[in-house]
Amino acid sequence: MTAGFLDRPILEPVAAATPMVPRGLVPSPFDARLRPLNLHQDWMPWAGHLSARRFDSVEAEYFAIRNQATLFDISPMHKYRVTGPDAERVMNRLMTRDVRKIAPGRVGYSLWCDEDGFVIDDGTLFRLGRDDFRLCCQEPQLGWLSDVAWGFDVTLREETEEIAGLSLQGPTSFAVLEAAGLGQLAALKPFGVAKVDDGLTVSRTGFTGDLGYELWVPAGRAIALWDRLWAAGHDFGLRPIGYAALDMARIEAGFVVCGVDFKSIHAAVRPTRGRTPFELDAARLVDFDKGHFNGRRALLQHAKEGPRYKLVALEVEGNKAPHAAFVYHRKKTEAGHITSTLWSPTCKRNIALAMLQAPYGVDITGDLWVEIYHDKEGKWERIMAKAWLTERPFFRHRRRSLTPPARL
Amino acid sequence: MTRYDAIVIGAGHNGLAAAGLLARGGRTVLVVEKNDVLGGAAAGYEIAPGFRAPRFAHLLHAWHPQVERQLDLAAHGLAFARRDLATLSLADDGNHTIIERGEARLAAGNSLPDAAAFAALHRRLQRFAGVLAGKLLQVPPRLESPDWRDLAGLAKLGLDLRRLGAADAREFLRVLLSNAHDVVLDEIADGPLAGALALDAVMGGHSGPRSPGSALTLLYRLAQGGGRHLPKGGMAAFVGALAEAAQSRGAEIRRNAAVEAVLVENDRVIGIRLADGEAMKAPLVLSSLDAQTTLRLTGVEHFDAEAVRRIRHVRCKGVTAKVNLALSALPRFDGIGEDLLGGRLLLTPSVQALETAFDATKYGELPACPALEVLIPSLADPSLVDGSGHVMSIVVQYAPYHLKGGWNDAARSRLAATVLDLLERHAPGLRDLIVAQDVLTPLDIERETGASGGHWHHGELSVDQMLTLRPVNGLARYALPVGGLYLCGAAAHPGGDIIGAAGHNAARLAMKDWALLEERVA
C-alpha cells in the first residue's frame, strides 16, 4: 500500500482564519431584509440557521404560493460541492440512481443508502459541469461524503455558508424573473440549471408542484439579489413565506422530508427504523444496472424479500386533518401512522402521507381507517375516518413543466 | 487467455496452503507471487554464499497439524531438525531461566523461587487457551445470524467456558480483556521469566505488556500450540514442502508475477491482471495479502463506503524488525552450553523493560533496549551452512514503522548496533564473527512481502481485530462482498503467525461456494 493511497486528503484544508463554530442560530445572508418583513418575528431553527416559520399569515403565504409568487430563504440547506476527475464516479457511488444520466446543466433528485440499504438522506444533485456537482440536502453529509469519496480523485467542499439560496415559487415566478431582467431564463426547462453570470446560478426546481425557480449566489451578493427580485416582484404579488406555508405546498406536491416522513438511518438509534428506497416508494430511483453503488447488495436482497413498510399517499374523509394519527385496518388492526397531512385548500380534501407496516400498503390496501382526535372548542372528539390509497402528487400544475413558462 | 478454477494471490504459507487444498479438491489452481522467492514472510534466503537463513519468521510454533495432515506435507519433504525448542531467557546477572514444556528452572541448576507459581500460571493460561483453541479452524460465527450453525458455535463456546468450572470461568473472564503485565506480575516477580511470558503476548504487534487486551493475545498464542519447531532445511524447506504439496496436485506457481488488479465484472471476480498487463481468468480469487492491499487491487468502487472505512482503519503499524547474521564460527555465550544455544534465546530482562521499549516506539523512536528473540538454527541443522560457520536470526521487538527521521542507512546501522551491543553483553566478540549481516525494518518487510505497515500479522492481533472482527466487522468470513473473492491470509481469522488455518478455511469456503455455483449452473 503506497502512502499516497492512505493519506491523500480529500477535504479542502480549512483556512486558519475560519471562525469558530458559532453559538446559537446563524442568521441568514438575507437577514437584513427578512427581519423587518417578519411581522410576527416567528423564527425556527433549520440546520443551525435562523429560518422564518411565517412572516404574517400562513394562509396568505400559502395562497401566494398557489396564486402569486413567493420568496423562501433556502440558504440553510446543506450544500456540498464535489469536483474533480472522479466526481461523477463518486456521485454515482453515492446515489441509488444513475448519475451518468444527469447531463451537465441538469438537476436530479435522488437518495442514498448505507451498506444495509437504508436511506441516509435525499436531495437534489446539480450537475454544474462534467466534473462539477453540487449536492443540496437536509442532513449534514460532509463526513459521509468523505467516506464515500475516499480513494477517488475528487475534492469536497461544504458550501452551506458560502452560497445563499432563494426559492422563487408560484404562477408568476417567471414574470418576476423577467421583470428583474432575467428573461433569458425562459428557455430553462424543469430540472435545468443555468449560470446567468459569474455569481448567479438559477435552476428550475422547487418544492411546490408548480412553476418555480431556485437562485444561488455567493453569500456576499445575497442582499443585492433580494433587492433585485423584490423590486421586480411588486406588481406580481411577490411576498416572503416561511416554512409553515411551504410545508403545506410540499405535502400537496407529494414530497417527503427526511426526519418527518422517514428517519435517516444515520440519525436512528434503532437499526430497524431505517427505511429502504422501496419502502419509501422510490423504487424508480434505484438503478441496479449501473454497477456498484453504496448499499446495492443489500438492496438486491431487500428487493427479493419485499418491503417491510410502505410509504403511501392517503386521502381521508372529512375536513379534520389526521395529524399524528394511527392508521387501522378494519378499524381495529394497527397498520401504521400518518407522517404528514393537511386539509388541502387547493385539493379541497384531506391528504396525507402514511408509513404502513407490511402487509398493509403492500398486499392489503383496502378498508383503511384513521383515528383522528380533535379539539372541538375545548372538547376532545374522536373520529374513525375512512381512508383510501391515492397517487402522489396530490397537486401538480401543468404550469410546472411548460417551457417557455407561463408569464401570468 | 489462460483460465483456472482459482487464482491465489501470494505464495506465502497461507496462499500455498490454500492452493494445495484447492488443488486437492480437484480445482485447477494458479498461484501468483510477486517475488522470485516463495514464502512471503516465511521465506528463506542466502544471506551470504553458503549461509541459508530465514528471512523473516524463523520457527514454527503454531502450524496447524490438521493442515499439515490434509496436505500430507511429510510426504512432500517436511521434516523437523528439532521439535519443542527450549526457551532460555537471559539475565544480565547470568542467572538465566530455562522454560520448557510449561516449567521454568534456572540454567545454573539452583532452584527458581517462582517455579511453582509460574507452572501454575502457565497451566491455567493453557487451560483458558483451550477454550479458544477449537475456534482456529472454524469460520467465525455471524452474531446476527439465522443459521443454527452460527448459534451452535456460540453455544459451544459458552459450554466450554462452563466446563472450566465456576472459579476458573470467573478467572477466565477476569483476565480475558486485561493486560499481560497484570496477569503475569500478579503471580510471579518481574524478571527474565516474566519478561519471556510478556514477550509472547506482544510479539509482532504494536502493543506493550500493559496495553489493554494483551492478555487475550497471550492466550491466543498459547491456543495455537505453544511448541516451537525448527523445520529441517530451514524455513525455505518448509515453504518448499508446501509448494511441492500444491504442485504435485497440479497447482501452477508463477514467480515474479505481481498482481496489478483483481478484475471484477457484474459484482463477481473474473480474474486478475499482472503488472506486465497479462490477464488470467478464474471465477475464484483468493488473496493472501492484507485487507488494505486487497481492497486497493480490487478497487475501492466495489466496496461499500462503510467497509472501506473499516478496512482503511485496520491497525497495522509494524513494530518488528529482523537482523540476520552469517557467522564464521559459533559465538560463545557466557555460561551457556551448546545444547541450550540451539534453543530459543530471549533478551527480555523484564516486563517493565518491555513496556519501556514499547513506549519509545509509540513516539517513533528506536528503544535503547528492544527485546530480542534469537535463534542459531544451524546448530540443530548443520545443513544450513556449507562448511563451518553459523547463521543467527534475530527478531527485534519494537522498531517503529514510522521512525522519526525515516529509515535511512544511519537508522539501520543504529538498529544493528543496538542489537549487537545487547547481544555482546552475553556473547562478547560476536561482532568479530560476522561474515554478513542484514537489517530488515518494518519498511523492508512491507516492501518485500507487501504487508501494509510492515505488520507481521497483517493487522494488529488484538480483541478489536479478532474473530468476528477480523479483519473488520462484517467481513470476517473470508468471502469479500465481491462474489468469488476471498481473503486467505493473516488478515483473516485466525490471523498472523505461521498457522495455515486462514488458507485452509478460505479454501474450504471457496470450494463450498464453487459447488453451489455449479449446482446453480446445472
User: pLDDT value at position B518?
Assistant: 83
Residues for chain B: how many in total? 522
- Band of residue A18 on the pLDDT scale cut at 50, 70, 90: low
Task: Give backbone dihedrals phi and psi of B139, rounded to 5 degrees, phi first.
Answer: -75, 130
The residue in chain B having the minimum alpha-carbon distance to the alpha carbon of residue A92 is B301
Question: What is the pLDDT of chain A when averaged over all its residues?
Answer: 94
Among B264, B297, B309, smallest CA distance to A150 is for B309
Mean pLDDT computed over A222-247: 97
Provide mean pLDDT across the span B477-502.
93
Neighbours of A346 (CB within 10 A): 19
**Nearest Cβ partner for A151 among B304, B308, B481:** B308
Cβ atoms of A125 and A91 within 8 Å: the answer is: yes
Q: Check residue A84 and give its pLDDT.
A: 97
Kind and range of the H or E run holding A145:
helix A142-149
Residue of A nearest to B305 (CA): A148
- What is the pLDDT at residue B141? 76
Q: Decide if B305 and A294 are in contact by the 8 Å CB cutoff.
A: yes
Instruction: Encode pLDDT of B290-346 as tens digits.
Output: 999 999 999 999 999 999 999 999 999 999 999 999 999 999 998 898 889 999 999
Q: What is the mean pLDDT of residues B188-192?
A: 96
- Interface contact B306-A114, CB threshold 8 A: yes
Report the alpha-carbon distance of residue B362 to residue A241 in Å, rounded: 58
On whether any CB of chain A is under 8 Å from the CB of B36, the answer is: no
Looking at this protein, which amino acid is placed at residue B520?
R
3-state secondary structure (DSSP) of residue B174: helix
Pairs of CB atoms within 8 A across A/B = 47
Degrees to nearest 5, angle at CA B271 with A147 and B296: 25
Which residues pair with residue B287 across a beta bridge?
A: B9, B487
pLDDT band at B163 (very low <50, low <70, confident <90, very high): confident
**Of A93, A147, A292, Cβ closest to residue B309:** A147
**Is residue A270 packed enough to be buried (19+ CB in 10 Å), middle (13-18) or exposed (0-12)?**
exposed
Which of B312, B453, B474 comes nearest A150 by C-beta? B312
Nearest to B296 among A1, A152, A295 (CB): A1
Average pLDDT over residues B229-243: 96
Which residue type sits at B437? Q
Does A274 contact chain B (CB < 8 Å)?
A: no
Q: How far is it, in rounded angstroms, from Cα A377 to Cα B216?
A: 68
Residues from chain A that touch B301, judged by Cβ atoms under 8 A, are: 89, 93, 151-152, 291-292
Q: Is the pLDDT of residue A9 over 70?
A: no
Phi, psi of B455 (to 5 degrees): -85, 125
Q: How close is the nearest chain B Cα to the Cα of A115, in Å?
A: 6
DSSP string, A354-379: EEEETTBTTTB-SSEEEEEEEEETTE
In chain B, how long is the greatest CA-to-CA distance? Answer: 72
What's the count of helices (H) and strands (E) in chain A, helices before strands? 9, 19
Do residues B284 and B6 touch, judged by C-beta distance below 8 A? yes
Secondary structure (H, E, C), B201-270: HHCCCCCCCCCCCHHHHHHHHHHCCCCCEEECCHHHHHHHHHHHHHHHCCCEEECCCCEEEEEEECCEEE
How far is Cα A231 from Cα A399, in angstroms, rounded to an integer?
Answer: 24
Q: Do B463 and B222 form a contact (C-beta atoms < 8 A)?
A: no
The per-residue pLDDT for range A78-125, each reduced to its tens digit, is: 999 999 999 999 999 999 999 999 999 999 999 999 999 999 999 999
Structural contact between residues A77 and A160, judged by C-beta atoms closer than 8 angstroms: yes
Contacts of A152 in chain B (CB under 8 A): 300-301
User: Which residues does chain B have within 8 Å of residue A144's beta carbon, measured at their own beta carbons?
Assistant: 305
Q: What is the pLDDT of residue B62?
A: 82
CB proximity under 8 Å: A 230-249 to B: none
